[in-house]
Amino acid sequence: MAGEQMKPVASLLLVLNFCMYVIVLGIGGWAMNRAIDHGFEIGPDLKLPAHFSPIYFPMGNAATGFFVTFALLAGVVGAASTISGLSHIRSWTVGSLPAAAAAATIAWTLTVLAMGFAWKEIELHVRNAKLRTIEAFLIILSVTQLLYIAAVHGVRRPT
């Protein structure tokens, strides 16, 4: 009985996390596109600048490139983990739990890694509103994804 009570909680968290991961992907995609378009231009003498970084983002600080890269990875894996999560919620059996829990745990670890870069970016101060938004979503996702992992473990073995 206790396992069935967790199913609506897991469903709500799955939908909430999916929406937040899609927002992270949208903003992260914008930041990556902007960095590719405006991040680096070679002058007429075709020499690299002295402080060249292949992960340079013109709208942030030194941590922005790493942050956006890992935010995109966390967003893709997090959104993809909802596929196994939906399958698990539909069947809600012990047999479907390992795939959903493993995918959710991998997504959570990448989210926590991106959140670490978010804290570093916050510490360095220089960033725009879109980057602050993605930071907030990743910090929230690090908690809600962990709650989702706990909720999907609410499945009980048949007695």
Q: What is the mean pLDDT of the chain?
A: 87
Instruction: Convert the pLDDT of each residue in 134-147 to its tens digit.
Output: 999 999 999 999 99
Residue 30's alpha-carbon distances to 33, 40, 59, 68, 70, in angstroms, are 5, 16, 11, 10, 14
pLDDT at 1: 44
User: Residue 45 domain-assigned?
Assistant: no
Model confidence pLDDT, tens digit, residues 35-70: 888 766 555 666 655 555 667 777 888 888 899 999
Residue type, 48: L
- Measured distance between the N- and C-terminal CA atoms of the chain, rounded to whole angstroms: 11
pLDDT tens sequence across 82-95: 999 999 999 998 99
Residue 28 in tokens: 């992260």
Gap between the Cα atoms of 124 and 121, Å rounded:
5
Residue 118 lies inside a defined structural domain of this protein: yes
Residue 48 lies in a domain: no
Q: Based on the structure, what is the number of domains in the chain?
A: 1
Q: Is residue 147 part of a domain?
A: yes
Residue 86 within any structural domain of the chain: yes
* pLDDT at position 97: 92
> Tokens at residue 38, please?
């405006």
Q: How confident is the model at residue 117 (pLDDT cuts 50, 70, 90)?
A: very high
Better-predicted residue by pLDDT, 115 or 43: 115
* Interatomic CA distance for residues 139 and 45, integer angstroms: 43
Q: How many whole angstroms separate alpha carbon 126 and alpha carbon 61?
A: 6
**Residue range 124-130: average pLDDT?**
85
In 10 A of CB 65, how many CB atoms? Answer: 21
CA atoms of 145 and 17, how far apart (whole Å):
7
Note whether residue 117 is domain-resident. Answer: yes
Running DSSP on this structure, what letter comes out for residue 93?
S
DSSP assignments along 32-62, one per residue: HHHHHHHS----TT----TT--TT--TTS-T
Q: Express as a percent the part of the chain with pLDDT over 90.
A: 62
Is 103 part of any domain? yes
pLDDT at 43: 58
- What pLDDT is attached to residue 35? 84
In a domain, 125, yes or no: yes
Which residues constitute the domain of residue 118?
1-38+57-153
Q: What does each C-alpha distance from 126 to 26, 58, 60, 83 come to in angstroms? A: 21, 10, 6, 36
